[in-house]
Amino acid sequence: MSTKLVDYDYHLPEELIGQKPKEPRDHSKLMIVNRESETLEHKKFFNIIDYLKKGDVLVRNSTKVIPARLFGKKETGGVLEILLIKRVSLDTWECLLKPAKKLKVGQKLEIGDNKELIAELLEIKDDGNRVLKFYYDGAFEEVLDKLGKMPLPPYIIETLEEKDRYQTVYAIKGESVAAPTAGLHFTKELLEEIEKKGVEILDVFLEVGLGTFRPVQTEDVLDHKMHEETFEIPEDTVKKIKKAKEEKRRVIAVGTTTVRALESSVDEFGNLVSRKGSTEIFIYPGFKFNVIDALITNFHLPKSTLLMLVSALSNREFMLDVYAEAVKEKYHFFSFGDAMFIC
């Protein structure tokens, strides 16, 4: 097992970074990655149904992405970009501001042509994040939906025409500032077909934070500190997964956020338990998976903790071969990219 950051690097041509969502959603490419035989197949995402079996359990992160990107004007006229990161209380959020240096505690920002939202800087945190209090009429969520833009990752430079395309079709609740992107490939029709086949579909919730894009900056990956994320595993989901495990049926996670939620919620005996909490779990080669048997995921950034997670499910050398094949076959990478099914 390697803990050197350089051993999780690969070459990715810039033109392979997905800039636009696929239409229809389930027509993206799908690579079938068989861990046991170390073989690959190239399909379309809608073919995933052919690789799911009756009795399988498909677990998805049903968190909702909020339009967390706002633009505020200072009284002097300067414009700042505001990125909501984490809700502190009803009207108070921890945020990233750009540019932020000249804004002082007590200063206010006006957001919207009619100043529908006013933000006041309450605190400058040690890590550089800012705490803002918002003033508005009506419901904050409605004001945010009107004024906010989806917080697309920094590597997506094209404009998103429809907000819903950075949202899964099954999003229920939450305040994520990034989408659980493996789920973007599913349509409602495909999910209905999967259920008709006898696959059980279950929900968990993990609020995806900006740290999901934060690069690892330590040469030894074990020195890296993960960002904290809030999650919830409902009791009904636990009961059904336990029954599946007892009956030796597969538990398949949709996305790395689902993996982190599930594997963060096990007791000292390795059994899944229902709970709400926060996690800083770091999954890298050598990790013992207690819950999941297979994973549907996108292709992740070089030197990222997510590449380490998929390497833990398979092995690093084989996974780098998989990525090299994806580059060769011109798969698209990252949030609006193509998918793989590691089974």
**Same structural domain, 136 and 281:** no
Distances (CA, A) of 328 to 11, 188, 323, 325, 331: 11, 31, 9, 5, 8
In a domain, 177, yes or no: yes
**What's the whole-number average pLDDT of the chain?**
95
Does the pLDDT of residue 213 top 70, yes or no?
Answer: no
* Residue 82 lies in domain: 69-147
Question: Count of domains in the chain?
Answer: 2
CA–CA separation, 30 vs 165, rounded Å? 19
178 and 324 in a single domain? The answer is yes
Strand 63-65 relative to strand 92-98, pairing: unpaired
Do 179 and 252 lie in a common domain?
yes
* Amino acid at the residue 178: A
Q: Within this chain, do residues 76 and 213 fall inside the same structural domain, yes or no?
A: no
Q: Classify residue 92: in a domain, yes or no.
A: yes
Tell me the backbone φ, ψ of residue 142, rounded to 5 degrees. Answer: -70, -40
Whether 170 and 238 map to the same domain: the answer is: yes
Of 4, 60, 42, 8, nearest to 311 (Cα)?
Answer: 8
Both 101 and 55 in a single domain?
Answer: no
* In the chain, beta strands by DSSP E: 29-34, 39-44, 57-61, 63-65, 69-74, 79-89, 92-98, 108-111, 117-124, 130-136, 173-176, 200-206, 229-233, 251-254, 275-279, 294-298, 339-342
Residue written as token pair 């809608």: 46
In a domain, 47, yes or no: yes
Do 210 and 125 have their domain in common?
no
Q: pLDDT exceeding 70 applies to what percent of the chain?
A: 99
Asked if 288 and 329 sit in the same domain, the reply is: yes
In a domain, 126, yes or no: yes
Q: Is the pLDDT of residue 93 over 70?
A: yes
Whether 61 and 200 share a structural domain:
yes
Q: Is the pLDDT of residue 127 over 90?
A: no
Task: Give the pLDDT score at 329.
Answer: 98
pLDDT at 60 over 70: yes
**CATH number (domain holding residue 20):** 3.40.1780.10
What pLDDT score was predicted for residue 101? 81
